[in-house]
Amino acid sequence: MPTFRYTYVDASGKRNRGTMDAPSAAVLADLLHNRNHFLLRADQVGGGGRLADILNADITFTRGLPKSAIAQMTRELAVMLEAGQDMDRALRFLVETAEGTAARNILQSLRDQVRGGKSLAASLADHPKVFSRLYISLVRASEAGGQLAPGLSHLADLLERENKLTASIQSAMVYPVLLIAASIGTVLILLTYVLPQFTPIFQQAGARLPAQTRLLIAIGDFVRVNGVWLLLLVVVLCLAGYRALQDRKVRLAGEKLIAKIPVAGDLVRKGQAARLTRTLGTLLQNGVGLVGALGISRDVLSNLTAAVIVEQAQAKVKEGARLAPALGADGFFPLQTIHLLQLGEETGRLGEMSLRAADIHDEQVHQVVQRLVSLMVPVITIVMGIVVAAIVGSLLVAMLSLNDLAT
């Protein structure tokens, strides 16, 4: 039976922590509820130790708050409101239990604005670097419908699902990245340190070295002498590439090129489809109109090509067209997405079918990433072995040529 490390609120409103064995987080929540406790968060204690926790951490660099912190705050606020607490007391609880000065300051600002008569959505809108347009729109729609607590709960589900997918991809990429770094470091050490140790021996012998050995020695000398300049050149090229991608035409051209690559293009299309349908379905189920939901969904897409298609579809929907044909006109989004959206329109369950499409595409993206990582590790290992073997082999051939010269 798994063990859970959990955080809960007791009947007096005090936040506590604990650990308990339970079949699932849902069963744990029921057990705590029977004791008049409200579960805020439950994390299963893994067997990988501290290293596993580090590898599965949410690595986020932002000027506001990490997405994981926003998701946890949203979940706790939803739990407090569902438990019958008023907004002021719920926000005060979040301020008192916030981890970090930045989170505490933002929450205190929200509480002050709400106490001053502002709605929660209007207060959130004053922090655009922390809370996205999607977040604010969902809160506004929930407030307008008098369903703020359920709306926040749905929003927390959305954020937690996104964080889980992102964290799984980051964790899966840790080992290949470390392997690539180790491979590059090994080759550089061989070229810039090991081979130069034998150069004086070859020069004293006066032997003509094999072509591959002379080439490797020349490459090692070049890297050793110009290494700093090469690193600076790489940084400059990366900055220039980033600056070029800010241009709309260049970015669209680059995205079209990536879309033509078999595996990468399919992965990008499914990833964007998952993000679009997840956002669209969540907005529709929280009472946001289709046209407004498309406008918000467009803003959460990271692919400019996909954003343009959604913008064009939004204009067509305004004119009375159906959503599925409008999105499928350019062939960017997968046919599976279009068919599910069409089914949702025909049955009047567009929000539900959008979320179902998102679940399908999220799982597909996760499986593709796992397969790519599984293939990358042996490929990198084989390539590294070949390169190292070539360097060592060229060195051995040179040493043998010296022996032949001596005889």
Question: What are the pLDDT tens digits along the chain (407 aa)?
Answer: 677 777 776 665 566 677 777 777 777 777 777 776 766 677 776 544 443 443 344 333 334 678 888 888 888 888 888 888 888 888 888 888 888 788 888 888 888 888 888 888 888 888 888 888 778 888 887 887 778 888 888 888 888 887 887 777 777 778 888 888 888 888 888 888 888 887 777 777 666 777 887 888 888 888 888 888 888 999 999 898 888 888 888 888 888 888 888 888 888 889 889 888 988 888 888 778 888 888 888 888 888 888 899 999 999 998 888 999 999 888 889 999 999 999 999 998 998 899 899 889 888 888 888 888 888 888 888 988 888 888 888 888 777 776 655 44
* pLDDT given at position 49: 42
Domain annotation covers residue 10: yes
Contact 27, 1 (CB under 8 A): no
Looking up tokens 């409008």, which residue turns up? 326
Domain annotation covers residue 238: no
Domain annotation covers residue 78: yes
Contact 277, 354 (CB under 8 A): yes
CA dist list (Å): 173 to 132, 170, 267, 375:
27, 5, 15, 12
Domain annotation covers residue 182: no
In whole angstroms, what is the distance from residue 295 CA to residue 99 CA?
34
Tell me the CATH number at 131.
Answer: 1.20.81.30
Close Cβ partners of 335 (under 8 Å, ≥ 6 residues apart): 328
* Residue among 391, 388, 399, 405 nearest 215 (CA): 391
CA dist list (Å): 61 to 58, 106, 387:
10, 17, 35
* Residue among 180, 217, 184 nearest 200 (CA): 217
Q: How many CB atoms lie within 10 A of CB 379?
A: 11
Domain annotation covers residue 309: no
In whole angstroms, what is the distance from residue 115 CA to residue 108 CA?
10
* pLDDT given at position 338: 92
Domain annotation covers residue 402: no
* pLDDT given at position 1: 64
Number of domains into which the chain is organized: 1
* pLDDT given at position 156: 86
The domain of 76 spans 3-164
Close Cβ partners of 11 (under 8 Å, ≥ 6 residues apart): 36, 37
Domain annotation covers residue 297: no
* pLDDT given at position 237: 92
* pLDDT given at position 46: 53
Domain annotation covers residue 151: yes
Residues, the chain: 407
* pLDDT given at position 402: 67
